[in-house]
Amino acid sequence: MTPTTETRPRWILHVDLDQFQVSVERLRSPELAAVPVIVGGNGDPTEARKVVTCASYEARDVGVRAGMPLRAAYRKLPDAVYLPTDHVTYDVASEEVMDTLRSFGHPVEVWGWDEAYVGADVDDPEALAAQIRGRVAERTGLASSIGISDNKQRAKMATGFAKQGTPGGDDRVFTLTGDNWMALMGHRPTRDLWSVGPKTADKLTALGVDTVADLVGTDRDALIERFGPHQGNWLYVLSRGGGDATIAVEPYVARSHSKVETFPRDLTSRDEMAAALSRLTRDLLDQVVAEGRVVFRVALTVRTTTFFTRTKSKKLPHPTTEFTELEAALLTLLDRFELDRPVRLLGPRLDLVLPPDA
């Protein structure tokens, strides 16, 4: 395997998917839109020792948060829709997003299902951010917010401003640099700094340090004496908007290849859909064969003119690269959809057998 490589790009974009698990659930069940949705455990809010993994904004408005016991969430919001955590579906949705980020040709450092950093040496990072948000939404149906800075910590905090609609931001994109750092962060509590937890904040308060500006005005030696050389120096750097300016790219082995097409004219007949699906499948298979890979499962995403979007998948009887077998499996999936409305988008996906060293 190729070793991890690091780059120091001019700009770092922190891409954060909005209420990821809830959004994925709403894509396959649009009737959940605008109602409180809570994902966690097996979907039973009375089950002991299970926690919320994602809450919709409607649920967050009444105090439900990720990490909260499901029972506590149920006491706050008994009428919410509670859903089990579906790891396989979230894995697939996340991989589609990360593949979309990589399609821009910039290094990508993945931090989980719903979070990644993109390093870019561009003159207009805001324009790139807008393009990323648009392409992710078009290909996956998922919304995102993007924070921009020259290091990962500050970019992560910029995303918080993007989500809040802070003046100076543009449609869920916000840039936080040395120019506006103190104006936006100086008056805020130290707890608002990325990686500063409640215990560290309490220790700082005991020193008379309540805000980021207070921390900037604290002598580095005093911080080292109280927190040790590693954390003391880190707090000194972090308070000034500094951080890790590298993007670490792990060796990437695609787990699937997908191709999504939004048609200039909606498809109304099955023959039109089948022809488009065959063409997209052939293009995907050429890519798979060129990489020496083999397909073990197929999936198909369909979006109608009403933006109803759903994905269905099917495991193959055996791994293959035979076009006729893949085409037949995808057409079988197509027939599982209720095609009573014109189709705006088709997106076949081929899931691949991983090589032994991946």
Active site residues: 115
Length of the chain: 358
Cβ-in-10-Å burial (0-12, 13-18, 19+) of 212 comes to buried
> DSSP for 205-243?
HHTT--BHHHHHTS-HHHHHHHHHHHHHHHHHHHHTT--
Q: Residue 55: which of 33, 43, 40, 72 has the closest Cα?
A: 40
C-alpha to C-alpha distance for 221 and 228, rounded to whole angstroms: 9
249, containing H or E segment: strand 247-249
Interaxial angle between packed helices 87-102 and 125-140, expressed in degrees from 0 to 180 and rounded to the nearest 10: 140
- Tell me the HSE value of 309 on the side-chain side, using a 13 A CA sphere: 21
Quote the tokens at residue 349: 């996906």
What stretches of 57-121 show up as alpha helix (H) in DSSP? 57-60, 70-76, 87-102
Residues 205, 215 contacting (CB under 8 angstroms)? no
Question: CA-CA distance, 60 to 164, in Å (whole number)?
Answer: 14
346/303 Cα distance (integer angstroms) = 7
The amino acid occupying position 354 is: L
